[in-house]
Structure 1
């Protein structure tokens, strides 16, 4: 059985099988694709593309970004095929980094991945709360405008509901992915087909405007404004590591995980390109009015102009629901990464977090920890709209930092590389180099403020927030006596092994023999 071979491979990596392998290959794809959640995500971040290029940014900015993001997906897929474990990124960092630096790099990678995933929960659920309140505003004919406190209340309720769903048995969470795939694809085609058919003539744009029209509302040079619009596809086509984090619950993980990563990113890039072309043709040419509309959501305004109040409420309700489903998937993936990181003792309270609920067979404590972290990040909303936007950027910055470390460790660490069933062969190195340059570049981009002359109110706080996370994790690592420097040795094997005392490379024949012996019993 595939699950037997998966468990043997996991034992070779140093871990015993503790979670149930209930995810089928298409469901592994589903968790990545549902976290991307194309239409809801585009709706959440359209505010970054429209003022920084308008239709040109929607169409060509998306296309350029999508191509590079597929490179990122391929680099991660190689690693995910070679060593499919829920710890993924920090595990690979430790395995391939130079011996002198592997503990520290694994530590930093794990914390970057953790904060990136938690920020992903916060950004998805905050976007869902804003979209839900926008629906109420539309339904009230704009007589109701929500306060920050009201939006935060909805946000907190969404997080609590996602804790309940993500804590369900693995088999239940896995079967839900099929539903998520269908709803996401149907919503994409609904926008692609219905919006052009319903848009009145005054809001339809020419091909020249749709493919070359440009708007620049924030004062940056046109070229840099266009680059800043990349934040929209960067945040939308994100969470590549989600299939990795459920790899210990996936059947035939060495194959299912890499193809789940690549197919999710590729299909999202193609469908998203089509959706953005439709928006460019059907949004009218008054970008300033779209952004200033009291609805507060550019996508909702475009739909309202084309479909009217009732039609918009129908489509928007589906968008909100699909965004809600995105939240359940990101909480699931994040909790598995936290479970794995605490299994290796790296997080405060690891003994509490590394527990599997005996009723559901899932790491419920890790689910709650992830949700609580996201709830705390949501408090940034009370510092103003610019502060809450840092969460969107933090999800990109945290994840990309966590991607850079293992990919660069593989090629520059000097350690032996044993590829899995999916590998790029001689193309692995050039693809990785393009990936690394792209991610370093985009981390710089997302740290820039919205306008060219920022004040305290509209400054980008991504750098100080993420910097604080890295600094605090480094301080914890080097804390005298109690810091990770004195006790963190990377991934710890939890099966009987022979070799170097529990390092990820120490588990071998004895680990496999133990599993096979348990299986016979």
Structure 2
């Protein structure tokens, strides 16, 4: 492969090494290649955002297993996710295109594989943009509510949804303004996350009057799921309840495919985008684990001296911050997190819009001719607007209040938010699994790039796919008894985890579309290099 790049560069000296590599893959350089390797790493680190996923989905882990579901599940799952990252780093090194995941699948498995992979990836990216933006809105509301009692008194899901829409609009406007601005924002975001996470950890270590014991953090378990009568000793607890909490880790450490989607805007992409993927995962895993442990150690006690598991189960991290740190420190911590989540939402919009642009460039989305257009600043503005609208639509069910407690002791569960984040995880990781599996099937015939796993792909790739399939199955299950359709007495639609309905329903529609029409005209990535060669000679 390097020899081929050199031949293109030799015949067309006006093309840089990155443009020559892109030319060999069939594309001309349309996007502005102004991102450094650090900026490429920064966008995935920003999308992973330990100050977003760790906090917004804390309740999913805590209520489904207790402290052990955080202290043990995070590092164990983290190892598997890092392996997934290594397999994807190898792929982006060989094929550094904005299409990323679906381009790899098309190259390795043909048009059908690319078509379904692309749609899964797009569904996941829209959902993760929606989930992060809604989480950001929630934390903005919590920050203001913690500071102002009068604001807190008027709380409503409608108010949070309005803030969510404002976040989406701001993220869209910033993305439309300039692609280079996004690179700068992501560079700032990295240091905000690093300094912010360190600051929060220090506050959680030194400000609270008391901390929980090591025994509590690493051995305490309980079951607030509503299943198995709260049992923590039967097989269901270990093989169903605790896995429900996997959403915390799997959702937080996702979106790292952004390194691939921004590879056409990154210098030395074959090497830098590959490093960006695994480094963003590794550093996020380490920093996120320290942050989560600090939060669990800071859990407050009830007046009788026992850990306040019920209060934390209902109030999440905001309850921990207020009870353990007091109003002022809690407001400070919540502000740091809310700002980080806005950086994250903006980065998610960037990644999703680039995927939309690339998929539209190949004619796979209705209205592709509109969505692939670039502004004078070489930004896919129409794709940004499309992602924003789709993210708003998928989050509408968040307006429905789901109280699994009583009027005297309400316990409001963000079922819709967990469903949106589950859709993000399912869509993104299933999209990852397809090219990872296809690369394994190609074996030694696969043309590796400058960064590769050598012979380790033989065990890495099937292990990565197995982890994705297992976690996906758990995230499609009803996490609340009231959402179980086989439990007629307790079943209500508001409790339903609509993640499988959206993902499987969309896949069914796509399958019908593919058989009826798409397979006759979708041939995979379209080449645009001919015009680029002409332009190179003319210049």
Q: TM-score, normalised by structure 1?
A: 0.91
Q: How does 1:231-242 map to 2 (within 5 A)?
A: 231-242=247-258
| Paired residues, number | 491
Q: Give the CA deviation at 1:306.
A: 2.0
2-side partners of 1:415 and 1:515: how far apart?
36
Choose which of 455, 471, 491 in structure 2 pairs with 1:426.
Answer: 455
2-side partners of 1:461 and 1:421: how far apart?
42
Q: Aligned with 2:64: secondary structure?
A: coil
- Structure 1 unaligned spans of 5+: 498-510
1-side partners of 2:460 and 2:534: how far apart?
38
* Residue 308 (structure 1) aligns with: 326
Q: Give the CA deviation at 1:273.
A: 1.1
2-side partners of 1:320 and 1:152: how far apart?
15
Residues 420-443 of structure 1: per-residue CA shift (max 9 Å, x gap): 111010101211111000000010
* Residue 91 (structure 1) aligns with: 103
Asked if 2 retains the 8 angstrom alpha-carbon contact of 1:54 and 1:214, the reply is yes
Residues 122-142 of structure 1: per-residue CA shift (max 9 Å, x gap): 000010111111223222337
2-side partners of 1:169 and 1:461: how far apart?
35
Q: Aligned with 2:439: secondary structure?
A: helix
2-side partners of 1:141 and 1:65: how far apart?
39
Q: Aligned with 1:227: secondary structure?
A: helix
Alignment of 1:318 onto 2:336: yes
Alignment of 1:494 onto 2:528: yes
Q: How does 1:241-252 map to 2 (within 5 A)?
A: 241-252=257-268
Is 264-273 or 209-218 further displaced after alignment?
A: 209-218
Asked if 1 retains the 8 angstrom alpha-carbon contact of 2:311 and 2:319, the reply is no
- Structure 2 unaligned spans of 5+: 1-12, 229-235, 301-306, 402-413, 484-490
Choose which of 368, 372, 388 in structure 2 pairs with 1:350.
Answer: 368
Give the direction of change, closer, same or farther, for the CA distance of 1:222–1:232 in structure 2 (3 Å limit): same
Alignment of 1:261 onto 2:277: yes
Residues 196-245 of structure 1: per-residue CA shift (max 9 Å, x gap): 101112xx111111111112112253213222211101100110201100
Alignment of 1:134 onto 2:146: no
Asked if 1 retains the 8 angstrom alpha-carbon contact of 2:99 and 2:358, the reply is yes
Choose which of 2, 10, 19 in structure 1 pairs with 2:31.
Answer: 19
1-side partners of 2:217 and 2:14: how far apart?
49
Q: Give the CA deviation at 1:338.
A: 0.5
Residues 64-112 of structure 1: per-residue CA shift (max 9 Å, x gap): 1111110111111110000100001111111111xxxx21111111110
Asked if 1 retains the 8 angstrom alpha-carbon contact of 2:192 and 2:340, the reply is yes
Residues 365-384 of structure 1: per-residue CA shift (max 9 Å, x gap): 11111111101111121344
* Residue 286 (structure 2) aligns with: 270
Q: TM-score, normalised by structure 2?
A: 0.88
* Residue 502 (structure 1) aligns with: none
2-side partners of 1:126 and 1:471: how far apart?
27
Is 454-463 or 418-427 further displaced after alignment?
A: 454-463
Residues 315-360 of structure 1: per-residue CA shift (max 9 Å, x gap): 21111111011011000011000000000000000000111101x2
Asked if 2 retains the 8 angstrom alpha-carbon contact of 1:136 and 1:144, the reply is no
Asked if 1 retains the 8 angstrom alpha-carbon contact of 2:185 and 2:343, the reply is no
Give the direction of change, closer, same or farther, for the CA distance of 1:477–1:264 in structure 2 (3 Å limit): same
Asked if 1 retains the 8 angstrom alpha-carbon contact of 2:440 and 2:457, the reply is no
